Structure 1
Amino acid sequence: MAYPDLFKQMLEWMPFVLKGFLLNILMSMLAIAIGTTLGAFLGFGQISPQPSVRVPSKIATQLFRNAPWLVLLFYCIFLMPYQVTIFNTTIQLPSWLRATIGFSFPVAANFSEIVRGAVKSVPYGQWEAAEALGYSRRTTLFKIILPQCITRMIPPWMNLYSLLLTATPLSMVVGVEEALGRTQAAVQAQGDSRVLIPMYLALLIIFFLYTWPINRLSLALERRFRTK
């Protein structure tokens, strides 16, 4: 009768854990949106012909791309203010929001490399042909090169999102009550060592069920675009 009781305990705590997982999803979506926007600017900066733009963009990309995510997370959590005042209105910045901003930096750096790689993958002859036809560099980039890059960027961008989601449990270290933190709290609250492995296994399955379809779709799109 021990196993039915164990399963019952897990079911009782699953809604609590799933609410934390919703925070993981929210953080990942906000971070991928912010990181994609910033990364696009960094990526364009890396291919700029002007050294004053290209060099800082490359340095920022390499810095945030190779820095440990947890270190960036600590910096944002402890260096960012807990609240800001705008026009006499005080806005609280909760830990999960500051953690989301922390995740945005490595996402931006990785997406910057995706943009740079996609643009560089287009044959240089297209740049020369557009220049011969009198197109400016900006027009060539946005009307000729980038439309070809979109399909090349989608699969690695989706993989980056999956990686980001699986990294969000790091925020537990700085006090964010996401799925991993709530799973740990649930195990401690039950005071039964038997639920330790099943609860963490259930959390692993939850993350897998969310990210696996994304990875499969990414592979399918990659195969499809590769044949064109």
Structure 2
Amino acid sequence: MDVGATLGLLAQGFYSSLLIFAITLIGALPLGVLIALCRSSRFAPLAYLTRIYISIMRGTPLMLQLIAITFGPFYIFHLRLSTEWKIIACSIGFILNYAAYFAEIYRSGIQSIPQGQYEAAQVLGYTRKQTFMLIVLPQVFKRILPALGNEIITLVKDTSLAYVLGIAEMFSVAKTLAASAASMIPFAFAAIIYWVFSSLIEIVLAKIEKHFSYYSD
């Protein structure tokens, strides 16, 4: 087995995994804030619908959601599926799923802020938007970083689920290489790459957590 060629092919697969990872974070992190606010809304129908959405996203397998979003248009509307659509559907599935998890993490952080801080901000003349953006959100972000970090690390590994859609991410490439070479070495290389990338993310998150440490609990 050509180690150099194997690593080159795994690197190409890792690029696809990295793309899924980045797109998911870019879409799911802000969407999670919006969903958390809807979940905490005083408008009961909106809060109830958001609760159902979160329940479905967290209560069904991500793999099943990816398959439903990707192949649903074919089975329901008999539309021809393109490679581009598979990538788009994969991104949508990951974003919707992780936004639900992030939303519950955000919500727990928001609820942990004492009500007195909202009242003090109101006395000082802050609007509700200013109170949330300038006072509440920085404290929430600091408090939820450990839980948020766990989900982000999980996302690194969950990118491998894209293989069910025929997307050539790193796991599917490793699987193909292992089958062709009758060797476990491609899987070992893939595991090392996943581990190194996860470790780098842990280091970045630790630095971010240290940066926000000036906010007292």
Q: TM-score, normalised by structure 1?
A: 0.80
Q: RMSD in angstroms over aligned alpha carbons?
A: 2.4
Residue 139 of structure 1: how far off its partner (Å): 3.9
Alignment of 1:150-161 (within 5 A): 150-161=141-152
2:169 is the alignment partner of 1:173: no
Q: Which amino acid is 2:179 matched to? A: Q
Secondary structure at 2:202 match in 1: helix
2:142–2:213 Cα contact (<8 Å) kept: no
State the distance in 1 between where 2:59 and 2:206 align: 25
The aligned residue for residue 41 of structure 1 is 34
Residue 168 of structure 1: how far off its partner (Å): 0.9
The aligned residue for residue 78 of structure 2 is none
Residue 160 of structure 1: how far off its partner (Å): 2.0
1:31–1:107 Cα contact (<8 Å) kept: yes
> Measured at CA, do residues 221 and 145 of structure 1 come closer, stay the same or move farther in structure 2, by a change above 3 Å?
same
2:201 is the alignment partner of 1:214: yes
1:28–1:100 Cα contact (<8 Å) kept: no
Query: Structure 1 runs of 4+ off > 6 angstroms?
Result: none
Residue 220 of structure 1: how far off its partner (Å): 5.6
The structure having more radius of gyration, on CA atoms, is: 1
> Runs of 5+ in structure 1 lacking a partner?
1-5, 82-90
2:55 is the alignment partner of 1:62: yes
State the distance in 2 between where 1:97 and 1:76 align: 10
Alignment of 1:1-228 (within 5 A): 6=1, 9-80=2-73, 93-133=84-124, 135-190=126-181, 193=182, 195=183, 197-219=184-206, 221-222=208-209, 225=212, 228=216
Q: Please, which moves more after superposition, 19-28 or 61-70?
A: 61-70
> Measured at CA, do residues 104 and 80 of structure 1 come closer, stay the same or move farther in structure 2, by a change above 3 Å?
farther
State the distance in 2 between where 1:59 and 1:94 align: 27
Identity of aligned residues (%): 24
State the distance in 2 between where 1:160 and 1:152 align: 14
State the distance in 2 between where 1:92 and 1:106 align: 21
State the distance in 1 between where 2:83 and 2:163 align: 19
Alignment: residue pair count? 208
C-alpha deviations, 1:148-178, integer Å up to 9, x for none?
A: 2232344433332221121011111221111
Secondary structure at 2:42 match in 1: coil
1:159–1:215 Cα contact (<8 Å) kept: no
> Measured at CA, do residues 221 and 143 of structure 1 come closer, stay the same or move farther in structure 2, by a change above 3 Å?
closer
> Measured at CA, do residues 121 and 226 of structure 1 come closer, stay the same or move farther in structure 2, by a change above 3 Å?
farther
Residue 54 of structure 1: how far off its partner (Å): 1.8
